[in-house]
Amino acid sequence: MNKKPQLSLETAVSHIKNGDTILVGGFGMTGNPVHLLHALAETAVRDLTYVANNVGEPGLGGGRLLRNGQIKKAIGSFFTSNREAVAAAQSGAMEVELIPQGSLAEAMRAAGAGIGGFYTPTAAGTVLAEGKETKMINGVLHVFQPALRGNVALIRAWRADEAGNLVYRMTEQNFNKAMATAADLVIAEVEEIVPLGALDPNEIHTPGCYVDFLVQAHTTLDDLGSSASIDGGAKKAGDVRMVMAERALQELKPGDVVNLGVGIPTLVADLITPEHGIILHTENGMLGVGPAPEAGGAMEYPVNAGKIPVTALPGSSYFDSADSFAMIRGGHVDVAIMGGLQVDEAGNLANWAVPGKPLLGVGGAMDLASGAKKLIITMTHASREGEAKIVPECTLPLTALGAVDMIITDLAVFAFVDGQLTLLELMPGVTLAEVEGKTTAVFSNALA
């Protein structure tokens, strides 16, 4: 077996030129080639197209490139968490192209497989589909997503052998595995390089034929940013948000594969016990998510889609983002519980953008909304300004068409029964008049 060249950080990034499209692995700050990015930030390279789920935290990894003005365009699914990315987009200093998280991963997997693109129901009917080719397939509207290839891929693996075979650690496969196949030149930053034969061929995630150069660099707590340790914030029993979470839990059955969105849905995880028999899925690449560890962080544990360290239950499995969203689109996730900004009489959902604010954070919401077998929305019944959130027609940018099955609010529970928005329950202490006064959508009343 030929041995791959082992380079210094400085020599490795010297292969990146002005105007290159770079694919950058990682989810949050885990599995992120942060040392390569910091080395690149020390160069004069400019006008980069930066392809990643996000650009990282301010001042760390891709955040340094952004701060330096080295990124001309960013292509990804979620940049809202970096305030500097938001400011750069607002000022026009950086162009942004949003792609739903699952479509982003699949676009690179397609490029690596020599496929020109694919049709997906994700984002159909939304602003992210504007200008793209659409097609009805089996009665469902699909959007064409072109493949996405880079000049250089910067990826992070836990271990490599001298032939360039790579092994990832826990949820650090994320985008790295697909990106390793989808660039003209692949540079792998790794924690450890071992001799030929030291890796079990059965455990290799990325074969060495995809990798051009290896760079050894050790991860530290500082490299992980906000994922370095857990947030021990306690949840109060009886809080109205916990009441909604408890009601959502009642909809889950033993054996269900369940994905929980950020916000109120994450509280459901605090209520799940082994006796429930529920299998939690996180879109960055894990099935069988357990509770947060009592201590420690991403150096010792996997992280979930909220970038929070979690434990792995017996029988858990890890995989990359492309496989994770294949599970979602393929109907292998039974229930998704997500937050919402608006739901309308047709079951359309809006939960990712507000006019007047930069549209920088779609994440995996569109994939989950259109792919899960059952979609439950948990949200307050009205906005902070008192405006109804269950409306005749969504006025905010759509996440998915006709996808919602159930709505759980602080006032009531609704479901779509034979396509009709129907009131099923009132929350304790709530009157029908209160619900009617804060709902502008027309609904049937199963309580009557």
User: Which residues fall within 8 angstroms of residue 219, CB to CB, at 6 or more apart?
Assistant: 34, 191, 299
Unique residue bearing structure tokens 């790579």: 166
Catalytic machinery residues? 283
In the three-class reduction of DSSP (H, G, I as helix; E, B as strand; rest coil), residue 313 is classed as strand
pLDDT in tens, the chain (448 residues): 789 999 999 999 999 999 999 999 999 889 999 999 999 999 999 999 999 999 988 888 999 999 999 999 999 999 888 889 999 988 999 999 999 999 999 999 999 999 999 999 999 999 999 999 999 999 999 999 999 999 999 999 999 999 999 999 999 999 999 999 999 999 999 999 999 999 999 999 999 999 999 999 998 888 877 766 555 444 554 589 999 999 999 999 999 999 999 888 988 988 998 899 999 999 999 999 998 888 888 889 999 988 888 999 999 999 999 999 999 999 999 999 999 999 999 999 999 988 777 667 899 999 999 999 999 999 999 999 999 999 999 999 999 999 999 999 999 999 999 999 999 999 999 999 999 999 999 999 999 7
- State the pLDDT at residue 238: 59
Query: Tokens standing for 298?
Result: 């991403």
Using an 8 Å Cβ cutoff, are 333 and 372 in contact? yes
Alpha-carbon torsion, ordered 429, 248, 239, 308, to 10 deg: -170
* Run of H or E residues at 67: helix 62-68
Question: DSSP assignment, residue 372?
Answer: S
3-state secondary structure of 338: strand
CB 43 within 8 A of CB 69: no
Q: What is residue 361's predicted lDDT score, i.e. its pLDDT? A: 86
Q: At CA 288, angle to CA 293 and CA 221, rounded to 5? A: 40
Listed as own residue / partner, the contacts of 191-194 with beta carbons closer than 8 Å and 24 or more positions apart are 191/157, 191/158, 191/159, 191/216, 191/217, 191/218, 191/219, 192/158, 192/159, 192/160, 192/216, 193/6, 193/159, 193/160, 193/161, 193/162, 194/159, 194/160, 194/161, 194/162
- In angstroms, rounded to a whole number, what is the distance separating the alpha carbons of residues 341 and 302? 30
> What predicted TM-score, i.e. pTM, was given to this entire model?
0.94
Cα distance between residue 16 and residue 67, in whole Å = 18
Amino acid at 339: G
Q: How far is CA 141 from the centre of its chain?
A: 23
- What's residue 234's pLDDT? 44
